[in-house]
Chains A and B, each alone.
Chain A
Amino acid sequence: MSGYFVSILQGALLTVGVSLAALVVAILLGLLGAVAKLSGRPLLVVPATVYTTLVRGVPELVLMLLIFYGGTIGLNHLLAALGSKSSVDINPFLAGTLTIGFIYGAYMTETFRGAILSIPKGQMEAAWAFGMGPVRTFLRITAPQMVRYALPGFTNNWLVLIKATALVSLIGLKEMTYLSKQASAATREPFTFFLFAAALFLVYTSVSLWALRRLERRFSLGVKRAQT
């Protein structure tokens, strides 16, 4: 009995791993998407808009199954076309990370776009007046200031992302949810094990919430708050 709890705890580590790796993918895609959407060049705006609209209009589960099963077959067709006789199985960790990162990249795009728009335009203009290029302006002026505006939306996206990792169990990654389902089937005590998994998720989301609140306070230093 306690063996199952230990294995679910190990699965919890994998859940942390998937969500952090997916977060990195989502942040990168989100920054790219936001910059593309704000660039004003149709060649960049159109694909970014299609990306965010499609991803936010379709359930995560459907996208995940499409990318996982479709990706496996597509890759094998590609290998066959290249003359290889071996077939590959996509690693569920990689597939889950990339899919969740791809989905939440679309949500991050909107969060980051809104945050960049909230920064007074004069800040960027001052940077250009000092001779900074677009990259340096972004790194030194835009990025540090957008953190504060992006944090509330980012916190929401992150919490939803953590919970979405439970879906990866459906494509066979042996993480927390997968292992608690197995333990339930083996012991015929589903209530106990799913409650345990739910409690672990709650710990994970609570710790995240606490940490992000501290971060928010850190990035809001020097911002005047009106007394109500």
Chain B
Amino acid sequence: MRWDVIFQSKHLAMYGEGLITTLWLLLSSLGVGAVLALLFALALTSSIAPLRWIVGAYTYVIRGTPLLIQLYLIYYGLGQLEWIQARWDEVWPWTHFKEPFFCALLAFSLNTAGYTAEMLAGAIRETPAGEIEAAQAMGMGRAQAMRRIVLPSALRRTLPAYSNEVVMMLHATSLASTVPAMLDVTAAASRIYSDFYLPFEAYIFAAAIYLTITFTLVGMFKLAERRFLAHLAPRAH
């Protein structure tokens, strides 16, 4: 074991840069994914059948195929399509398809949106009928009841399942290392492996970083659950 190589300042700096990329990818894909997921969940539970079918098909395909292939489809695949190639030199949103970070972010956001939308839709469907009836009795319309009653309680009930999804997403960001020119924690470890032929040290150090972030996230969600799901906890005697 030659841990001194890992702890050289320039290699630590490489891991640090990777850590920033990993966290940035995680936070931005969760942010974009959450907005999409909310819209998709509303579509999945709406009364408009075609909307339900389209979004249902979307989540089925996203959840039935590997993220690695979705990433390849966006990073390598979209660049081949002529209508994107024709635009990606000048027209604004398309210019981003040349950037690896944007492609990874797009793949991860679309992926987490698919999973989160199904969780959220489940929680919306499970809203106790009495709560909705009470809202109607108070004279609230569909949108108002959704905004004031259904969504606040559904979002809280999604919290435990969502904490799993966030940890899964953290682990999924390691796939960014398969895109050339992306330097996340896993890619930093792979570079040290290929430069020094030290697989144990390089990947164990990366694993320790991921483990630390995982524990931090799980701890944060435990605190959030204690705060937001206090009303569901067993009653103290």
Binding site for B on A (CB under 8 A): 54, 56-63, 65-66, 69-70, 72-74, 159, 163-167, 169-170, 177, 180-181, 184, 188-191, 194-195, 197-198, 201-202, 205-206
Q: Quick one: which of B80, B173, B197, B210 contacts A190, CB cutoff 8 A?
A: B80
Q: Are the CB atoms of A195 and B77 closer together than 8 Å?
A: yes
Q: Quick one: which of A169, A194, A202 contacts B76, CB cutoff 8 A?
A: A194
CB closest residue in chain B, given A193:
B77
- Asked if B11 lies at the interface with its beta carbon under 8 angstroms from chain A, I say no
Known pairs A57-B211, A57-B214, A65-B199; A194 contacts B66 (CB<8 A): no
Return A57 CB to nearest CB of chain B, in Å.
Answer: 4
Per CB-CB distance, the 8 closest pairs between chain A and chain B, nearest first, are: A69-B199, A191-B77, A66-B203, A59-B171, A166-B66, A59-B174, A190-B76, A163-B66
**B81 contact set on A, CB distance < 8 A:** 191
Could you count the A-B residue pairs with CB atoms below 8 Å apart for me: how many are there?
120
**B61 contact set on A, CB distance < 8 A:** 198, 202
For window 183-200 of B, CB contacts with A under 8 Å fall at 186, 189-190, 193, 197, 199-200
Q: Are the CB atoms of A62 and B193 closer together than 8 Å?
A: no
For window 21-75 of B, CB contacts with A under 8 Å fall at 61, 63-70, 72-73
A191, B80: Cα distance in complex, Å: 7
Known pairs A59-B186, A66-B204, A166-B69; A73 contacts B210 (CB<8 A): no
CB closest residue in chain A, given B74:
A194
Q: Are the CB atoms of B203 and A189 closer together than 8 Å?
A: no
- Asked if B159 lies at the interface with its beta carbon under 8 angstroms from chain A, I say no
Return A195 CB to nearest CB of chain B, in Å.
Answer: 7
B 203-233 to A, binary, CB cutoff 8 A, 1 in contact else 0:
1101100110011000000000000000000
CB closest residue in chain A, given B190:
A65
Q: Are the CB atoms of A198 and B203 closer together than 8 Å?
A: no
A72, B198: Cα distance in complex, Å: 11
Return B148 CB to nearest CB of chain A, in Å.
Answer: 25
Contact-residue bracket for chain B: 35 or more
A60, B67: Cα distance in complex, Å: 13
A56-B214, A184-B72, A194-B73 known, 15 other contacts, Cβ within 8 Å: A57-B167, A59-B186, A61-B175, A69-B203, A163-B66, A167-B68, A170-B178, A190-B76, A191-B77, A194-B72, A201-B64, A201-B65, A202-B61, A205-B65, A206-B64
Known pairs A73-B199, A201-B66, A205-B64; A59 contacts B76 (CB<8 A): no
A57, B211: Cα distance in complex, Å: 5
Q: Are the CB atoms of B199 and A58 closer together than 8 Å?
A: no
For window 156-179 of B, CB contacts with A under 8 Å fall at 167, 170-175, 177-178
**A202 contact set on B, CB distance < 8 A:** 61, 64-65
A197, B66: Cα distance in complex, Å: 10
Q: Are the CB atoms of A59 and B70 closer together than 8 Å?
A: no
Which of B61, B67, B69, B177 has the most chain A CB atoms closer than 10 A to its own CB? B69
Classify the secondary structure of A's interface with B: helix
Could you give 11 example pairs across A and B, Cβ below 8 Å?
Answer: A57-B210, A57-B215, A61-B177, A65-B189, A70-B199, A70-B203, A73-B199, A190-B72, A190-B77, A191-B77, A205-B64
Return A4 CB to nearest CB of chain B, in Å.
Answer: 15
A196, B178: Cα distance in complex, Å: 20
**B66 contact set on A, CB distance < 8 A:** 163-167, 177, 198, 201
Q: Quick one: which of B64, B68, B206 contacts A62, CB cutoff 8 A?
A: B206
CB closest residue in chain B, given A204:
B64
**B190 contact set on A, CB distance < 8 A:** 65
**A70 contact set on B, CB distance < 8 A:** 199-200, 203
A164, B68: Cα distance in complex, Å: 9
Return B91 CB to nearest CB of chain A, in Å.
Answer: 20
